[in-house]
Amino acid sequence: MYLEAKDIHIVYDCVRALQGISVSVDEGEIVTLIGANGAGKTSILRAITGLKSLQSGNITFNGEPIDKMSAVNIVERGITMVPEGRHVFPLMTVKDNLMMGAFRRRGKAGIAESLDMVLRLFPRLKERIGQAAGTMSGGEQQMLVIGRGLMAKPKLLLLDEPSLGVAPLFVQEIARAIVNINKEERVSIILVEQNSRMALKISHRAYVLVTGKIAIEGNSEVLRNDERVRHAYLGGSVE
């Protein structure tokens, strides 16, 4: 497997956030994590990116252990996280926000190629390239933070709730962009989403989390038709 987390446990102030969870992503896959608030989805992303230490278990990427690496070293190996919340630099332009994603890269030509790719994926950003990021809509800002993550040229992209608080029209655009990032740019993706309907539609495999444990896992199309998943989680709006 490209990325593999085995039997990972995480504790926050004596609360067990993850209880022996194992997840994996193969190269070229979109894998989604779905479940209610507090189920442990973001904790998995924080463990993968080195932002939260494991109590036990291990994580490997491309065959290399990463669970004891710093977040900086993990980014250098090609893992980028776009956190929940649309954290833009509000007074900076769209272009300057995007360029911040490439601040550790070298080589002007490669950075320019990445910028062109992001603007093709998100034409709205091209239209607003000189606009202050803080003046854009929530959906446009979400496109911007995804684009900024892509400027790091990731091999594995972690997306935390990209549709949260975004108008339905923008949710559709973001969903299409995620598929294109995976297919055209060959970036593997872990997608954390409460819009389970959208997440299961665009992903290859899925894990359903309940209070720090995996309740169900499998092929996303199969889970879309699983009665347990349909009744408990399919409340999203994207068909």
Q: Tell me which residue of 148, 196, 155, 117 sits closest to 29, measured CA to CA.
A: 155
Measured from the Cβ of residue 198, the count of other Cβ atoms closer than 10 Å reads 24
Burial class (CB in 10 A: 0-12, 13-18, 19+), 4: middle
User: What are the φ/ψ torsions at residue 144 (nearest 5 degrees)?
Assistant: -65, -45
Above pLDDT 90, what percent of the chain?
A: 85
- What is the residue extent of each domain of the chain? 3-86+154-233
Q: How far is CA 70 from the centre of its chain?
A: 19
Topology classification of domain 3-86+154-233 = Rossmann fold (3.40.50)
CB 158 within 8 A of CB 81: yes
Question: Residue 156: which of 69, 45, 68 has the closest Cα?
Answer: 45
pLDDT in tens, 47-81: 999 999 999 999 999 999 999 999 999 999 999 99
Residue 95: band (very low, low, confident or very high) from pLDDT cuts 50, 70, 90 = very high
Of 9-23, 47-61, 108-122, 177-191, the poorest mean pLDDT is in 9-23
